[in-house]
Amino acid sequence: MSEGQLGGATWGGVSCECRKAERRGARDLQATADPMEVEGIYTEVFLCSERKEASGGADPLMVGSTLSLAPLVESSPSVRRSQPILITSNRMKGSDSYSSSVPSIPNPFPELCSLAKSPLLISSLPPESSQKHLIKVYGEDNNCKSVWVSRRATAREVCHLLVHQAHCSDQESWALFEHHPALALERCLEDHEVVLEVQATWSLKGDTRLTFCKNYAKYEFFRNPTLFFPESMISDSADVSKGMTSSELIQNLLRSGTCPEIQGFLHMKEPSRKAWKKVYFFLRRSGLYSSTKGSSKEPRHLQCVADLDNLNVYTVVNSRKLYGAPTDFSFCIKPSRNPSRVQDLKILCAENEQTRTCWTSAFRLFKHGKQLQSNYQLSKSTPRSLEGSPLTDPKAESSLVAMDFSGKAGGRVIQNPTEAQTVEMEEGQAWRKREALRCSLPTVNSAARPSSVHKTQPWFHGGVSRKEAERLIEKQGLVDGMFLIRGSQQHEQCFVLSLCYQLRTKHYLVIPFEKGGRKYYTIDDGVTLFIDLLQLVEFHQINKGILPVCLKHPCVCITL
């Protein structure tokens, strides 16, 4: 074989053996030959064949050797796929120089760019904490508002939050009502009740809702106990201290967080029937009992009607029409944990409003006890928000002070509260006198007088009916001095003053009166004249006149 043929066969064999070595693997190559390595980028491996007959006696290094190329790494690395690479923008790298070249423009409305300080749509924003829950509260105009509250938020805290968001000027005597429209039942939630726990007892298919409105009579029995607990309804067994009057007994019991035992006749609706039966009832700490034999108090004649721990007391609205009650003074006992069903209700009817109020107040006192006394003391303190901060800005309050500018040296701050109140009343009366003089001038016609100023006042309720006015006053608390003014439906150009006194609503006709070619208003046949309804209300807030009591609490309807 020639040298060219040898070289050609050798290099041809090299390429063939390379393909075979790749198939057999490095382990087979080591078993058949002794390797010899050459340093370089690749390792050249010469394999010496031991078959002498194939070499023909030639040099085994040149004839029987094959050449294979293998990398220095023992095992071939895995194939590297292309990976995404984050490319940094040139503008981001030079953001400092880019932003510094443009002058900064100050934000003219920083409060609108911060969600925490923005006054817009606060209630619609989800809270940062997952412990917040969304509830719906309705106003007396049937418009609802969604509020985020904590899981353990009480009725008092929710009321203070709504007062803050609705910008109510008066922060006292607000309450949450639980209203069942289908059953015509409603009750005022106690200040310590957890709102979400109350909602958990509602039926999912029902139309129960929470209503936000005033309730001046929530703790009125602490202020005037003899009106709410007449002596005739107090049980004889409650008089444990001889020589103590009924008023002293009630006051001592209320201070201790309890209530005297109540007794009296009530109309009770028989189950599964439309008939009503008059039954004698006893209300004690252990529960409500009825006598099966007249007014007997013997234990063998007493039958337990309800346990106070597992019930709530509701006021029935329009009970005559819906339930056929003999009077309008009905209340209902409903289990607190069961869904609202008609067959589970125990509807009772009293003879008058004082009797009904006595029974419902006694139910509350026996059920909650000392907690109501604590709620009453807490209600007299300054209201605070859910976060514990005052609802009103103390800086804004401290900036309004009483001033006296009568001296020559300039104004001075009035430090004495009595003097400040006197100055306020004098300024108000002087302003009313100037307004009355201006309106009584002959050059001023009747159209230019502020005869419609009452339409902007919270105590004016337009043309509501007599029955609706009584319902509004009853819902917001039958306390002495609660009032509203409405348009008369029977007498044209006349108004009606509806006033609560001794748990009853009385109505006084306000008629227009002509004198000297000028128009006035009066409620005492012209003895006292007022140029408008605002002056009439301001006068009777200080002087009773022909009214049994001064005007104290306006019946207002808030819009959420």
The pLDDT assigned to 113 comes to 55
More confident residue, 231 or 352: 352
What is the rounded average pLDDT of the residues 293-298?
87
| DSSP H or E stretch at residue 121 | none
Residues 6+ apart with CB under 8 A from 207: 180, 181, 182
Exposed/middle/buried for 286, CB within 10 Å: 0-12, 13-18, 19+? exposed
Residues 6+ apart with CB under 8 A from 393: none
The pLDDT assigned to 389 comes to 35
Handedness of CA 536, 537, 538, 540 (dihedral sign): positive
Give residue 128's pLDDT band: very low, low, confident or very high (50, 70, 90): low
Q: Is the pLDDT of residue 334 over 70?
A: yes
The tens digit of pLDDT for each residue in 256-293 reads 767 778 899 999 987 777 789 999 999 988 889 999 98
Question: DSSP secondary structure string, 28-42?
Answer: HHHHH-------SSS
Give residue 68's pLDDT band: very low, low, confident or very high (50, 70, 90): very low
List alpha helices for 75-154, DSSP H: 90-93, 95-100, 110-113
The pLDDT assigned to 548 comes to 94
More confident residue, 359 or 52: 359
What is the rounded average pLDDT of the residues 75-95?
51
The pLDDT assigned to 332 comes to 92
**Do 128-388 and 451-554 come out as alike in CATH topology?**
no
Pairwise CA distance, residues 372 & 486, whole Å: 35
Exposed/middle/buried for 240, CB within 10 Å: 0-12, 13-18, 19+? exposed
Q: Is the pLDDT of residue 215 over 60?
A: yes
Give residue 38's pLDDT band: very low, low, confident or very high (50, 70, 90): very low
Q: Of 330-339, 457-466, 510-519, where does mean pLDDT reach its minimum? A: 330-339
Q: Residue 232: which of 267, 260, 256, 251 has the closest Cα?
A: 260
| DSSP H or E stretch at residue 4 | helix 3-24
What is the rounded average pLDDT of the residues 352-381?
88
Give residue 430's pLDDT band: very low, low, confident or very high (50, 70, 90): low
Phi, psi of 206 (to 5 degrees): -85, 175
The tens digit of pLDDT for each residue in 161-205 reads 998 888 776 677 889 999 999 889 999 999 999 999 999 988 888
Residues 6+ apart with CB under 8 A from 29: 21, 35, 45, 47, 68
Per the prediction, the chain carries an average pLDDT of 74
The pLDDT assigned to 339 comes to 59
| DSSP H or E stretch at residue 471 | helix 466-475
The pLDDT assigned to 221 comes to 85
Pairwise CA distance, residues 353 & 342, whole Å: 24
Q: In CATH, what number does 451-554 get?
A: 3.30.505.10
The tens digit of pLDDT for each residue in 478-527 reads 899 999 999 999 998 899 999 999 889 999 999 998 888 888 999 998 88
Handedness of CA 426, 428, 432, 437 (dihedral sign): positive
Residue ranges of domains in the chain? 3-70, 128-388, 412-442, 451-554
More confident residue, 233 or 47: 233
Q: Is the pLDDT of residue 549 over 90?
A: yes
Q: In CATH, what number does 128-388 get?
A: 2.30.29.30
The tens digit of pLDDT for each residue in 135-155 reads 999 988 788 889 999 999 999
What is the rounded average pLDDT of the residues 315-329?
90
pTM: 0.63
Q: Of 170-174, 330-334, 337-341, 391-395, where does mean pLDDT reach its minimum? A: 391-395
What is the rounded average pLDDT of the residues 370-385?
76
260: three-class secondary structure by DSSP: coil
Query: Please, which residues bridge with residue 213 across strands?
Result: 175
Phi, psi of 408 (to 5 degrees): -85, -20
Q: Residue 485: which of 425, 529, 532, 531 has the closest Cα?
A: 532
Q: Residue 211: which of 162, 172, 167 has the closest Cα?
A: 162
Q: Are 507 and 485 in contact (CB under 8 A)?
A: no
